[in-house]
Amino acid sequence: QKEVEQNSGPLSVPEGAIASLNCTYSDRGSQSFFWYRQYSGKSPELIMFIYSNGDKEDGRFTAQLNKASQYVSLLIRDSQPSDSATYLCAVKVGSSNTGKLIFGQGTTLQVKP
């Protein structure tokens, strides 16, 4: 089992729709979770992080965390063509606040005009 798993997609949604991106992780001790966006040929760009069970909203983005199910998701409301990118879920393993991130393979999102 991979430490962090994502569906590679592509996930295709029409402009204006809600895009739902999912991620599961294997280390129950993980404390913090990050979503990065990566455009083709570019570097990862932080979108959000979450550490408490429940929802965290920032503009059109909502991160959801369920530690019991070891599941984290990212919702993008009112999807725009400019949201088309690969979305990377990252988990900081262990209980320390510092340390490496374990990334999923990423989900490619295509938003069609």
Partner 1 sequence: NAGVMQNPRHLVRRRGQEARLRCSPMKGHSHVYWYRQLPEEGLKFMVYLQKENIIDESGMPKERFSAEFPKEGPSILRIQQVVRGDSAAYFCASSSGQGFDTQYFGPGTRLTVL
Is 46 a binding residue for partner 1 by CB under 8 A? The answer is yes
Among 1, 40, 43, 95, binds partner 1 (CB under 8 A): 43
Among the listed ranges 15-23, 29-37, 58-66, 71-79, the one in contact with partner 1 (CB under 8 A) is 29-37
Closest CA to 91 of 23, 37, 17, 43: 23
Nearer residue to partner 1 within complex by CB, 90 or 109:
90
Report the C-alpha gap between 55 and 69 in whole angstroms: 14
Report the C-alpha gap between 22 and 63 in whole angstroms: 10
Nearer residue to partner 1 within complex by CB, 45 or 55:
45
My answer on whether omega of the bond before 113 falls inside 30° of 0, hence cis, is no
In the complex, the smallest distance separating the C-beta of residue 41 from partner 1, rounded to whole angstroms, is 9
Among 26, 51, 71, 75, binds partner 1 (CB under 8 A): 51
Nearer residue to partner 1 within complex by CB, 83 or 104:
104
Report the C-alpha gap between 62 and 42 in whole angstroms: 23
Taking the CA atoms of 103, 29, 73 and 10 in sequence, report the sign of the dihedral they define: positive
Binding site for partner 1 (CB under 8 A): 32, 34, 36, 42-46, 49, 51, 88, 90, 92, 97-106
